[in-house]
Amino acid sequence: VTGASFVVFNGALKTSSGFLAKSSIVEDGLMVQITREAMEGLRQALRDKKDFRITCGQVDTEDMKEYVDICWVENEEKTNKG
């Protein structure tokens, strides 16, 4: 689990790169590089207020997978006020 001050989603990762997605720590935040298709899925999940999981790692290997989970909380009205 990583805490971050900000998250940047970059939808320019090419499918030919050999990665499903890539995540990296940038200063005190997190940058997640994803494909255009994954970005479309993320945008739709945000619109629909649905949880979304991004699997990071190389396409052709099963070991060393990382996950970036975007989760909605139960009581949204009390979150981020003020």
DSSP secondary structure letters along 7-28: EEEE----GGGSEEEEEEEETT
pLDDT at 44: 97
**Token digits for 33?**
């590089």
Mean pLDDT of 57-79: 80
Residue whose token pair is 């720590």: 25
pLDDT at 73: 79
**What structural domains does the chain harbor?**
6-70 (3.30.1360.220)
C-alpha 29/C-alpha 7 separation (Å) is 6
pLDDT tens digit sequence for 2-24: 677 899 999 999 989 999 999 99
Angle ∠(35,10,14) on CA atoms, nearest 5: 30
